Amino acid sequence: MGNLTPRRDITDVRDVVRAYRLLIEHGEPGEAYNVCSGRDLAIAELAELLVGMANVPMHLEADPDLQRPVETPVLLGDPTRIRQTTGWVPEISIETTLADVLDDRRRLLA
């Protein structure tokens, strides 16, 4: 894997679609809205969660050849405006997202 230390604000696409629908109905034209959870997670934590769910013995290791020369250490959004305007908050946990992705991949490989 590449760099495992960056932290990212990850939101399930199903929550994102719900946010877009609410913005179409309640958003103000021309305003900017961050569709995000407001919580960040290290790539290493995300990968460890997935490996744990996969129930496959695996060691995660950063490969220097896969690392970007310039990396943004933290990408974290502030969902305050979308929450205040539409009432939207993400409902799908990262664990559910990863479990669904893993199940989908397993179905394709079966």
Q: Could you state, in order of their start, the residue ranges of all structural domains in the chain?
A: 7-109
Tokens representing residue 93 in the block? 């946990």
CB 110 within 8 Å of CB 104? no
User: Any idea what the Cα angle at residue 85 is, between residues 80 and 91, rounded to 5°?
Assistant: 65
- Of 73, 69, 71, give the one whose Cα is nearest residue 8: 73
What pLDDT score does 110 carry? 86
CB atoms within 10 A of CB 12: 19
What average pLDDT values come out for the chain (110 residues) when binned by 10 residues?
Answer: 94 99 98 98 95 89 89 97 98 98 94
CB atoms within 10 A of CB 35: 19
CATH 3.10.50 for the 7-109 domain, yes or no: no
Could you tell me the pTM of the whole model? 0.89
